[in-house]
Amino acid sequence: MVKLEKNEVRVAVFILFPVLILLVFVVLKLGYSFASSTKDIYLKVDSISSIKNGTQVKVKGYTIGRVVEIIPVYQPALHFLAVMRVENEIAMYEDCTAVIQNQNIIGDTIIELRNPETKQELLKEYAVIEGIEYVNLEALLQDVHVMLATVTSTVGVLRDISLDSRSNIRVLLGNLSRSVETVSTVLNDSQKDIIEIMRSFRKTAKTMDEISTELKRHPLKFLMKGDK
Write out the residues near other proteins by the rule CB under 8 A. Answer: 7-8, 10-11, 14-15, 17-18, 21-22, 25-26, 28-29, 40, 42, 71, 73-76, 81, 124-128
Q: Which of 94, 82, 86 lies closest to 39 in space, CA to CA? A: 86
Answer yes or no: are the C-beta atoms of 44 and 79 closer than 8 Å.
yes
Q: Least distance in Å: CB of 22 to other proteins?
A: 7
Using DSSP's 3-state secondary structure scheme, residue 83 falls into: strand
| Nearest to other proteins of 52, 124 (CB atom) | 124
| Nearest to other proteins of 130, 138 (CB atom) | 130
| Nearest to other proteins of 90, 127 (CB atom) | 127
Which H or E element spans position 219? helix 219-225
Answer yes or no: are the C-beta atoms of 56 and 111 closer than 8 Å.
yes
Rg (C-alpha) for the chain, rounded Å, is 50
Q: Least distance in Å: CB of 93 to other proteins?
A: 15
Residue 132, CA distances (Å) to 63, 100, 108, 114, 186 in order: 18, 6, 16, 11, 77
Q: Least distance in Å: CB of 167 to other proteins?
A: 58
Residue 228, CA distances (Å) to 138, 221, 222, 224 in order: 115, 10, 11, 7
| Nearest to other proteins of 18, 226 (CB atom) | 18
| Nearest to other proteins of 33, 182 (CB atom) | 33
Q: Least distance in Å: CB of 104 to other proteins?
A: 33
Q: Least distance in Å: CB of 114 to other proteins?
A: 20
